[in-house]
Structure 1
Amino acid sequence: MTTEIGLHESTTPYYDYSDETPVPPPIQRCSEVGCVTLVLVYVLIFVLGVCGNTAVIWIAGFKMKKTVNTMCYLSLAISDLMFCSCVPFNIVHMVHKRWIFGLFMCKFASFATFVNMYSSIFLLVIVSVDRCVMVAFPVWGQNNRTLKRVMIAVFLAWVMSIIISVPALIFRDVILSPREQVLICVLRYELLSNSHTAIVVNRLVVGFVLPIVIISLCYSVIIIKLQTNHMTRSSKPFKVMTALIVTFFINWLPYHVFSLMEIKFKLQIVQQGLRVSVVLASLNSCLNPFLYAFMGNDFKDKCWSFLSRIENAFGEIQNL
């Protein structure tokens, strides 16, 4: 059985064969169509994610003026790049159907995945609240909205993401698979009673439901204000922000649904659905740079390079 190092919730029990004569495991390879397809998708995520997010970091970090919004999107790109950098470990794991990188990387790769999930949605909450304040209370926002304060908010978002992701370090372990007799990287929730349910529910509430509720409230205020005051300014940055949030929602919702289902239903179809939802969630980390590029003003009228489109989009964002 191959398990995703970052998100898959396999709870394979520990198998001790110390009293038996070890039998060399047969060499396994990723040969079936489903496995090969997932590997190719992960390779695509890695290449696009690393290239795209590196471009965003270079443009937002070195070529653009430091503003509230560019700093938020810069942090989001750093989070996505961190996740994409761990994807090769998952690829090798799937190809060889065994874990060869040791206990530390087993824990760290999973930890980085959940830090990315939490930090991404927390940063989107910060962007949404900031935009809501600027639309609902423009005078107060202009006087009190400073780069220093948003950097503090971003820092706190990262700290919270790291703290909440600690269970990935605690419960992730390298064990011997009883069936294939190879080392695999799994989550061992049996180490603490009821920990599986508690962690999945906490992840759903803190990392998805509450942020989406806050973002929805912010959007409601923004839409009401825009309609009431007939405001059309900042429509492009608003579209970029909307695209980022909708993409996160679509990519992560199936994962949370199947994670909840797996607690009660140990069915093969649930396991397969969880594997596909993990890929969809991983896809979120390579899409953001393309959203920046294709939501810019010049996309329909000019055929500039990919970097020019990203820079154009950030030029719109930093003027908020």
Structure 2
Amino acid sequence: MEFQIIFIMLCGLAFLAGAPLNSYVLFVASCRVERTASALLFLNRALSDLIFNVCLPLRIVFIYFLHVDWARRLSSTITSLHMFSSAFLLTAISVHRCVLAARPEWAQKGLMASLAFWVGLLIWALSAGFSLRYGDLCEALIPSTNTSRNFRVSPKKIETTVAIQFLVGFLIPLALSLIPTFGIVLAARQGRNRLIQATQPLKILLGLIPTFFICWLPYHVFYFLQLSATHPPHSLEKGSAFASVLTYNNSCLNPIFYLTMEEEFLRYQQRARNPHTADHLLLELAD
């Protein structure tokens, strides 16, 4: 009983912190920031975080109090949707940063915004496809003691699901995000692409990637521990529950990175509209 109280309190804090912050980020990205490729990608990621946070009360009420199986499967699908979309969007943001650093002239022709729009739609489609196919299977691996088991899944399907979620939804996107980021860091240390560093601050990306890794790694680790355990102990189920809370904390931390960069990004936009400062920035890029 004490464990459930602590778990519900942590989920409540994650909801109260994450939902307002992500709502504000969506408002800023929609109303105060120009429709650039970066803004569209971050807007999609904030939307994914907001959907994840808003559905948190559904997870608590319908699963832990009313014991509704369809709500459990829906919560698992939403968790999977958020995981895949966040990972894919993080990869897209990293690749976009790399393109800005490597081809700034092409990136500033306005083509990137329309391309980012279609990339966002493709990411949502892929995330929905993976979630609808595998979302309800992972929750079958770690059933709550208060939840009925009216649906059964074969162990082979569960193993496949855990492997696909770890590889496609975590490890591969993380590796694809780190590779272009390291390239940008090396270019920055050599003093190149100063215009790109001003318009697309690297700090936000260096904050998003470690946060994603730290908050989602325990989620996958406990799934693998459940696979290796014939009769999972109660402590392992508690650890899995807290690992799921940590994923909600990730959706609370992401908007903090966005908001810390908002003032700097808007200040640069004002400088870019000024012909004198814009020419100065272009001269810096040419050096």
TM-score range, shorter chain: 0.7 to 0.9
In the superposition, the TM-score normalised over structure 2's length comes to: 0.82
Distance apart, 1:155 and its partner CA: 0.6
Percent identity over the alignment? Answer: 28
Q: Give how far 1:88 is off.
A: 0.5
For residues 200 and 169 of structure 1, the distance between their equivalents in structure 2, rounded to whole angstroms, comes to: 10
Kept in 2: contact 1:248–1:284 (CA 8 A): yes
SS in 2 for 1:191: coil
- Report the Cα offset of residue 173 of structure 1: 8.8
Mapped to 2, the partners of 1:148 and 1:109 lie a distance apart of 32
Given the alignment of the two structures, is residue 194 of structure 1 paired with residue 163 of structure 2, yes or no? no
Deviations 1:67-92 (A, max 9, x none): 11111111111111111111112222
> Aligned residue pairs: how many?
264
Q: Deviations over 1:197-252 (max 9, x none)?
A: 10000000000111111111111211222223444442672101211121111100
| Residue 157, structure 1, aligned to residue 123, structure 2 | yes
Select the structure that is richer in helix.
2
Specify the SS of the correspondent of 2:12.
helix
The counterpart of 1:70, out of the listed 34, 39, 47, is 39
Q: State the 1:286 CA deviation.
A: 1.6
Q: What do you get for the CA RMSD once the two structures are aligned? A: 2.8
| Distance change >3 Å, CA 114–CA 169, structure 1 → 2 | closer
Q: Corresponding residue for 2:284?
A: none
1:216 is the counterpart of 2:178: yes
Q: Retained in 2: the 8 A contact 1:118–1:161?
A: yes
Measure, in 2, the Cα distance between the counterparts of 1:119 and 1:213: 16
C-alpha displacement of 1:271: 2.3
Distance 1:277 1:268 in 2: 14
Which residue, out of 23, 26, 46, partners 1:54? 23
Deviations 1:77-132 (A, max 9, x none): 11111111111122225763x41xx4543332221111111101111111100001
Aligned to 1:165, what secondary structure does the other structure show?
helix
Contact 2:62 2:72 in 1 (8 A): no
Offset at 1:138?
2.3
Label 1:77 to 1:317 Cα distance change in 2 as closer, same or farther (>3 A).
Answer: farther
Tell me what 2:215 maps to: 251
Unaligned runs of 5+ in 1: 1-30, 297-310
Contact 1:107–1:172 (CA under 8 A) maintained in structure 2: no
Inter-CA distance 314–164: structure 2 relative to 1 (3 Å threshold): farther
Aligned position for 2:278: none
Cα 1:253–1:70 change in 2 (3 A) is: same
Contact 2:94 2:181 in 1 (8 A): yes
1:312 alignment partner in structure 2 = 263
Residue of structure 2 in register with 1:90 after alignment: 59
| 2:61 match: secondary structure | helix
Contact 1:60–1:314 at 8 Å: present in 2 too?
no
